[in-house]
Every structure is written in structure tokens, then in C-alpha cells.
Amino acid sequence: MAFQPFGYAVDIRSQMTPRAVRSAIRRRWRGWFDPIDGSRGWMIGPFICLWRSALDSRGPILLAVISSDGFGSRISGRAGSDLNGIALMVLLGPAILISMIGAVQAGQGTTTWAVGWGIVLMLGLGLTLWWGHADRREAEPLVRFLTDVVTVSGQSARMSRLLEDAAIDITLDVDGHRRKGPVTAATLYDHLLEMADGGVLILERRSEVCMQATARDGGFALEKREGGRREHFRAVRSGMPPGGGDRLLFSFEEAVDACLDYAEGGAVPSTVGWEPMKP
């Protein structure tokens, strides 16, 4: 696996013109100071920057350029965790080292002092780069948001379900907060779309009968309960041998389909199998 401290590459194609892409993004993103976490940002010319929180400016960030590719638009850039903080650290690190060398040459510090602080600085920079690599998938909700806004897929079976306004007879809990008001297919879709790593969505039919989707490592882990502790199951990808980590993760689209099918009382897609979890 490549070392990616500055996030991972983003390359999204759209049939919309660059101007239409920018308008669509502005219609969907949140205001800068909206207290609810969700995609927000700025656009200057072809450049776009997205982040999620009104309070945490160091959170996941997406930086990209919107350009015309002859058939529509292309959005290319990088998405990762705290890209601005990592870039600042990388730029300031060499400058601080040069300042310390200058201080030693001017007699304002000893060589031992400079070497000691240089080691501390390099260790700090190394840890920052590693954390940036390890946490890069925290930006996945921003990429999902952008893809959803600019990708035309209005004829798909999933999109036709999302356009239905009928309320679903199910209770929805998002990150420990029970949602008030009716739950629709679009409600489920929007919550999964904006869910950050570690976020949890629970669909409850009745007490001890529910399904759970947890955002993890750029995908979603699924579980369901059909009664007591002995009736607790986790979703596995059908046809994959035991031991593979990927067999426990599903894409955003697969998670949406599974949650919609469960909420509407149907069978989940055939790609999803279930195995008991230890009580």
C-alpha cells in the first residue's frame, strides 16, 4: 500500500458542464457556520475546497480543480485528514531547522541543543505524516458528497426509490440521536452519504430487532439483531472465504441498498450474507 500522508487522489467525472457543477455544489453544501457536521467550503474559479465541521478547521479536507474534459467535467484533486495542518508542518519544519542552525552559528545555542530539538522536530513530523496517512479515509464523506452531487444517475432503480416520499415504518437513530419526524428512503440515503468514519446508523423495527450500519475504513460494516444476544449477526460478503478483512466491508452503494431493503421489510441484496457474532 502506498504511503499517502497528503490524502488520496480524487478523480470524479460528470456529464454536467463546469458551470453547472459549481451551481449544483453551491445548492447542496451547508453554510460555513451550520452546527451540524456536513460538507461545506469555498470555490474560487475552478478551485474548490470542502470540509465538514464548523468548529474543527483541522478536520478532513478535499482540495480539487473543476475542469472541462470535452464531454462534461472532471474534478481532480486530493482528499485527506488535516491536509492544511500537515502542509503547514512540512513547510515550517525545514524553516525551524535552518533557524536552529543559524542560532548555533551565531553562538546563541549549542550543537547538542540543536541536535536534540532537531530529533524531536523530525519525530513530530514523522508522526504527523503517519497520522495523515492512517486517517486519510476520514475524508470519504466529502468524496461521496461531491460524487453524489455531480454524477447523473437519475434512471437507476436506487434513484427511483429515493424519489418516493412515502414514510417508512421504522425508527432511525444516528450517532446516538433518535431522528424526529417521518423517515423516508431519501432520509436514509442522506444520513449514510454524510456519515463520517466511526458514525453509526441504526434502523429499529422494534425492541431488540434492528440493523446497524457503521462507517469504517472508507466503507460500511453491517450488523443486525433479531432478538437477544445470541441472535446478533454481522454481514459478510457472500462467496468470500473467511479471514479476509474486505469480506466485512461494503461500499456506500451496497450499504444504501441493504439499509433500504431492510427498512422496507424486504430481503437484503444477495451479496450480503450473515454470520453469528459471539455473545
pLDDT at position 279 is 64
Residue 184 banded pLDDT, cuts 50, 70, 90: confident
pLDDT at position 46 is 93
pLDDT at position 83 is 72
Which H or E run contains 226?
Answer: strand 219-226
Average pLDDT over residues 38-61: 85
- Residues contacting 19, CB < 8 A, separation 6+: none
CA gap 264, 204 in Å, rounded: 12
Angle in degrees, CA 110, 114, 116, rounded to 5? 115
Q: Which of helix, strand or coil describes residue 198? A: coil
Average pLDDT over residues 70-81: 88
Average pLDDT over residues 57-79: 87
Long-range pairs for 157-161 at CB < 8 Å and ≥24 separation?
158/253, 158/256, 158/257, 158/260, 161/185, 161/260
Q: What percent of the chain has pLDDT over 70?
A: 82
pLDDT at position 223 is 93
User: Per-residue pLDDT tens for 127-182?
Assistant: 766 766 666 678 888 998 888 888 754 434 555 566 566 778 888 898 888 877 78
pLDDT at position 54 is 77
User: Per-residue pLDDT tens for 210-255?
Assistant: 999 999 888 899 999 988 777 899 999 887 766 655 788 898 888 9
Average pLDDT over residues 183-210: 87
In this prediction the pTM is 0.68
